Amino acid sequence: DHLGQWLGTVRETEGRNTMSSYLVVDDVDAHHDRARSTGAEIVYEPTDQDYGGRLYSCLDPEGNLWHFGSYDPWPAAPAAEHG
């Protein structure tokens, strides 16, 4: 594969992450429970945050770091009125 020289897993870099993703979910605790039951390694248990919302973090089977929370920093804009 010609892209192999540019791609690798987090495990191949001794577990160091250079990025992570934050996804907004409706029910942090239910999401956490499902992630744990399917093999995610929880690295930060669900916790209420000072800025609002609730958050947990986990590693997927390849060692990528994910954050899931209820705080939405990008609330939906009001729908435009059609006239």
User: Among residues 1, 9, 25, 4, which one has the least CA distance to residue 65?
Assistant: 9
Model pLDDT, residue 6:
62
pLDDT at 79 over 80: no
At position 16, the amino acid (one-letter code) is R
Does residue 81 contact residue 73 with C-beta atoms inside 8 Å? no
Tokens coding 55: 């958050």
What's the pTM? 0.74
Model pLDDT, residue 19:
75
Model pLDDT, residue 30:
98
> What confidence category does residue 4 fall into, taking pLDDT thresholds of 50, 70 and 90?
low
Does residue 71 contact residue 24 with C-beta atoms inside 8 Å? yes
Q: What is the pLDDT of residues 19-78, one digit of tens each?
A: 789 999 999 999 999 999 999 999 999 999 999 999 999 988 888 889 999 999 887 767
pLDDT at 81 over 80: no
SS3 of the chain: helix, strand, coil, percent, to 5: 15, 30, 55
